[in-house]
């Protein structure tokens, strides 16, 4: 049996005004009321039945439409032409920006039946229907999770596996660079200093993974207020291979502070290596208690907490990926 949505009720303050607004912005046709509804056919399978709702408040609603790039241009053009207040997200409805998630574009706006800024109850405007139009870019990217401990009783590897799993769940290809899987000697020569074809294992394999990545998550503990030596050794074996991609710092510690002192040192190192870190960091205190060995979080809230951090990395990665397609400064 095939199940599909045929129609949905959209409770509003003024059904005909809302139906006309919706149809106008999305380039659809409103043919008039069919009491008690003001229906707008979205496509040959779905109808929005706008209906007056005199209850207070009107319930929260959000309707997001995936459209083509050309359709997005038309919709956003009508939003601007009609001076509709818009924003880049469901909680940023008035920042007058569109988002560029994963190389696409998205815009959010409300049914204008409710007042905006200055309303005595700031929650009330959020109760109106919110519409979104977006077109998808090439969402899948390749990230490398770089972990930096080789200790026998290491705990941060659980955090690294958790980060890897969350990126995979968001639709990306992910490589985990674990120094136990890619053993390196103490730095003598950087990869680029070897004549072509003579670099020892595993340097060529690591170089290929790094070059293929659109961004990096550096999972770092804190040793004596600083960067773990295995991580620094791994990072320093390469230079140009890191260039023109963003990094994000997921730091951890066995104590209550989450490795943030190492993160501050990492910012300088990562910038010098040509992969500056995004503004946010993701500290994980008492890492030994947070995850199972396979990276499964013992507190499901960790999935929610890391979402914004990874979304920020995706934004920078998508922006720099597009920029690299037009060339790099050198």
- In contact, 275 and 247? CB cutoff 8 Å: yes
pLDDT at 2: 79
Percent of the chain surpassing pLDDT 70: 92
Report pLDDT digits (tens) over 171-226: 899 999 999 999 999 999 999 999 999 999 999 999 999 999 999 999 999 999 99
Q: Which helix (H) or strand (E) holds 251?
A: strand 247-251
Strands 46-52 and 7-12: parallel
**Domains assigned to the chain:** 7-135 (3.10.180.10), 142-324 (3.40.50.360)
Residue 93 reports pLDDT greater than 70: yes
Report pLDDT digits (tens) over 10-65: 988 889 999 999 999 999 999 999 999 999 999 999 999 999 987 766 667 889 99
Give the chain's length. Answer: 330
CA distance 299 to 159: 13
- How far CA 203 is from CA of 15, 154, 185, 280, in Å, comes to 65, 23, 10, 30
Backbone angles phi, psi at 324, to 5 degrees: -65, -30
Calculated CA dihedral for residues 292, 295, 300, 303, nearest 10 degrees? 160
Nearest to 143 by CA among 169, 180, 115: 169
Report pLDDT digits (tens) over 266-291: 999 999 999 999 999 999 999 999 99
């Amino acid at each position: 049996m095939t199940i599909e949505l045929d129609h949905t009720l959209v409770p509003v303050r003024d059904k005909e005004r809302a139906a006309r607004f919706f149809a106008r912005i999305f380039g659809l046709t409103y043919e008039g009321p069919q009491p008690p509804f003001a229906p707008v056919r979205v496509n040959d399978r779905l109808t929005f039945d706008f209906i007056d709702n005199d209850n207070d408040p009107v319930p929260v609603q959000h309707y997001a439409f995936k459209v083509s790039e050309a359709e997005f241009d038309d919709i956003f053009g009508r939003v601007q032409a009609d001076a509709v207040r818009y924003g880049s997200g469901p909680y940023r409805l008035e920042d007058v920006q569109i988002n560029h998630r994963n190389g696409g574009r998205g815009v959010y706006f409300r049914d204008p039946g409710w007042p905006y800024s200055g309303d005595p109850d700031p929650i009330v405007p959020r109760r109106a229907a919110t519409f979104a139009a977006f077109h998808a870019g090439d969402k899948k990217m390749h990230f490398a999770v770089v972990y930096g401990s080789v200790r026998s009783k290491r705990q941060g590897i659980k955090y690294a596996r958790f980060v890897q799993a969350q990126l995979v769940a968001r639709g990306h290809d992910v490589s985990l660079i674990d120094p136990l899987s890619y053993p390196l000697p103490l730095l003598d020569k950087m990869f680029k200093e070897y004549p072509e074809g003579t670099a020892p294992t595993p340097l060529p394999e690591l170089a290929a993974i790094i070059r293929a990545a659109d961004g990096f998550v550096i999972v770092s503990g804190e040793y004596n207020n600083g960067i773990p030596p295995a991580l620094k050794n791994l990072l320093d074996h390469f230079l140009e291979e890191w260039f023109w991609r963003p990094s994000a710092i997921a730091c951890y510690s066995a104590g209550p502070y989450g490795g943030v002192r190492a993160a501050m040192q990492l910012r300088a190192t990562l910038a010098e290596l040509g992969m500056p870190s995004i503004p946010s960091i993701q500290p994980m205190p008492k890492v030994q208690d947070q995850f199972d060995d396979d990276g499964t979080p013992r507190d499901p809230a960790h999935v929610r907490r890391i979402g914004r951090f990874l979304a920020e990395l995706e934004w920078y990665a998508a922006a720099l990926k597009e920029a690299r397609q037009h060339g790099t400064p050198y």
